[in-house]
Structure 1
Amino acid sequence: MRSLPLLALVAAVLTVPAAAQPAVDRTAGLLRELADAPGPPGFEEGVRRIVVREVSPLADKVSYDGLGSVIAQQGTSGPKIMLDAHMDELGGVVRRVTDTGFLSMQMLGGWLDQALPDQRWVIIGRNGPVTAVTGIRDVHVVPADERTRVFPRDSLYLDIGARTRAEVAALGIEPGDPVVPDAPFSILAGGQRYLGKAWDDRVGIAVVIEAMRRLRSQGHPNQLFVAATVQEEVGLRGARTAADLIKPDIGIAIEGGITGDSPGRNPEETQAVLGGGPGIFLYDSSAIPNRKMVQLVAYTARSIGVPLQRDLVQGYGDDSAAIQATAGGVPTVNLVVPARYTHAHNGIIDRADFDRTVDLVVAMIRRLDAREVARLRDFTP
């Protein structure tokens, strides 16, 4: 066989037929849109627009708390079930502009310092998005004893290519503007694993939307309040204010979980694996779930054939902690879609885990009639 000229060979390699690309169904499209939307704590507007668009046709009423959380009510009688996921993601905010056109950044949420250098970011200024990068020192000039050092976040600056403070202003950027990771959604090899930013907790937002969609057609015996909350990453704030308005009888938080199946992990950190099904947190640093709720989740999962991963995680907080401390005390549980590499630019989820989590949530809510809720809330010895 005659060999192709070099340019022709390169062109053949780079030309991928459209049919070879993984298909994107409605659910994958929603996950893509949610993951790509900018929304650090206090700046959730872009995510809120998507949520309101999706839940409005499914709800009897849509309202908001005073911080901007979305509360979509479905059903007008029966126990009040609060199904929660938070809209915000890890990000930052422009803190200061230097005379030479660099920007310092106040981080929002629980970032690791080693995840920050040499990363692309998007600043949402008044004239639209602006691409930035956190710089990194050149290896050729870094002394040998500093090459393995983690440099603190306060030593990092955003570089947008500007040369002066005036050029930054001309781009519509000023202190207080939100900053988010630049990490576009992508479908990985095999078509069943999704790469993207903000799975904590856009995957939870997608779960509650899809669960609400299914429950609209299947029905349920309660008042369902789907709460898409704000500012979880900086103190569980929106869950508290939303729960103050809802006054739920039961609370279910949906989160992006943590996996321990990548190389080099301590098995005591977490036991969950990608593709192993939804998870339930038996403990985290902010909340201990209601024991009867844990038993109900396990029973429901078995009854519908969904594998359930049990986990205990230190250094983790979730909205169920804020919900359970309102209205005189609310039985709560935190369910998770496992995710690799959370609280960083790029995370991975498994589509089967997502679908099974929706199955579990729908089955749970359909079981939570007045009798079952009364049982869960009964602490009589």
Structure 2
Amino acid sequence: MDFLLKELTEAKGVPGYEEEVRRIVQRELGNMDAEVVTDHMGSIFGKKIGAEEGPTICIAGHLDEVGFMVSEISRSGHLRFVPLGGWWSQVLLSQRVTIMTENKNYTGVVGSKPPHILTPEERNKVYPLKEMYIDVGAKSKEQVEEWGIHIGDPIVPICPFEILADEDTLLGKAFDNRAGCYLALESLKELRAHSHPNVVYSGATVQEEVGLRGATTAPYAVDPDVAIILDVGVAEDGPGTEGSDKLRLGNGPLVTFLDATMIPNTRFRNFVIETASKHEIPYQVETMTGGGTDAGRIHMYKRGVPSIVLGVAARYIHSHVSMVSKKDLEWAKRLVVELIKGLDQRKVDEFTQFAGRK
């Protein structure tokens, strides 16, 4: 687990610039002798056939992470930037970033004043992102341009992968959603040892963080009958957020009952719960009134695709650093595999045929 997950989290791939992550996914799919399928935006899936005439199951994470883009270069050589994805500005000050250019990467820091020179008014001010800048050590705009840094270049947070002292908590950047990419790959790998009556496409979409854009085009490459979307949910197990119904690291994978973009097919949702209970896989129920996942687009493809969002709780997402549980990832992978083994055409028909229901 550790090497692939480390490689995925440390890879640089903000929306529209996912190539580095895509290469890792393509390599892993090649190692499984999976047929690689892509759309015209860069989403990528590996196809494995359990039964040629079986229903098509799409398993999808997303390649991209939240980041930024260079929007302006000042005369003094500082970079202004705009967000790619959702950020709360206060997590940015003094953080290190990578500016990716065509030929070389550069390290910079989001500039901020030291506390010694802050006025009382500045100390109490929420510092807006539009006033922040990135310092790459340049002395002028001309020097920045000589280095090959241009407006439009992507900017990626820096955070190395680490296993913490409990040997279960994993720390790194971009678990949203390299955790989903990892689960998609590992689930497909695990399925090679099991028989199942389905055609499985497992992989990841692009540009989820800026509006579920890859999820709009990817279904036309896969044409799914059922979709399992792999993502992360917001853990609320820190000080001030405790509660019996809060999502916690280490309490099992998440099953999303509601978000702002989708209410899942209830028969499919119930099948997921039954499968988890049958195989003694602990799970947590997520209901989220804000935000959404790729399921928000995929479930509306053509006449409709029964979709479910599975994942793991994560702390501190949409910042430079996040945390997930290794146990949760293992349970989530097992749940995906058991779902694929339990699905067949008859079961999918139960989800999708509404005529005559009482």
1:210 alignment partner, one of 168, 186, 200: 186
The aligned residue for residue 340 of structure 2 is 365
Given the two structures, how large is their TM-score scaled by the length of structure 2? 0.96
Distance, in Å, in 2 between the alignment partners of 1:350 and 1:192 is 6
- Alpha-carbon contact 2:299-2:305 (below 8 Å) kept: yes
Q: In the comparison of the two structures, how many residue pairs are matched?
A: 354
- Alpha-carbon contact 2:25-2:203 (below 8 Å) kept: no
Larger Rg over CA atoms: 1
- Alpha-carbon contact 2:13-2:19 (below 8 Å) kept: yes
Structure 1 position 280 matched with structure 2 position 280? no
Structure 1 position 74 matched with structure 2 position 48? yes
Structure 1 position 352 matched with structure 2 position 327? yes
The aligned residue for residue 16 of structure 1 is none
Distance, in Å, in 1 between the alignment partners of 2:224 and 2:279 is 26
Question: Offset at 1:219?
Answer: 2.6
Distance, in Å, in 2 between the alignment partners of 1:317 and 1:60 is 29
2:281 alignment partner, one of 283, 288, 306: 306
SS in 2 for 1:334: strand
1:126-158 CA distance string (max 9 Å, x none): 232110111112222222133132111100001
Question: Offset at 1:266?
Answer: 7.2
The aligned residue for residue 261 of structure 1 is 237
What's the RMSD between the two structures over aligned residues?
1.4
- Alpha-carbon contact 2:181-2:203 (below 8 Å) kept: no
2:115 alignment partner, one of 113, 132, 139: 139
Question: Offset at 1:267?
Answer: 5.1
Distance, in Å, in 1 between the alignment partners of 2:324 and 2:45 is 26
Distance, in Å, in 1 between the alignment partners of 2:59 and 2:94 is 37
1:145-201 CA distance string (max 9 Å, x none): 331321111000010000011211232211111101011111111221110000000
SS in 2 for 1:241: helix
Q: Percent identity?
A: 39
Structure 1 position 192 matched with structure 2 position 199? no
Distance, in Å, in 1 between the alignment partners of 2:186 and 2:240 is 35
1:219-238 CA distance string (max 9 Å, x none): 32111011310000001011
Structure 1 position 176 matched with structure 2 position 152? yes
Select between 227-236 and 131-140 the one with higher mean Cα deviation.
131-140
- Give 5+ residue unaligned stretches, structure 1: 1-26
1:101 alignment partner, one of 77, 83, 101: 77
The aligned residue for residue 50 of structure 1 is 24
Structure 1 position 339 matched with structure 2 position 325? no
- Alpha-carbon contact 1:251-1:324 (below 8 Å) kept: yes
SS in 2 for 1:118: coil
SS in 2 for 1:218: coil
- Alpha-carbon contact 1:222-1:369 (below 8 Å) kept: yes
CA 1:59–1:83 in structure 2 vs 1: closer, same or farther (change >3 Å)?
Answer: farther
Distance, in Å, in 2 between the alignment partners of 1:248 and 1:186 is 36
2:5 alignment partner, one of 21, 25, 31: 31
Distance, in Å, in 2 between the alignment partners of 1:105 and 1:283 is 33
SS in 2 for 1:211: helix
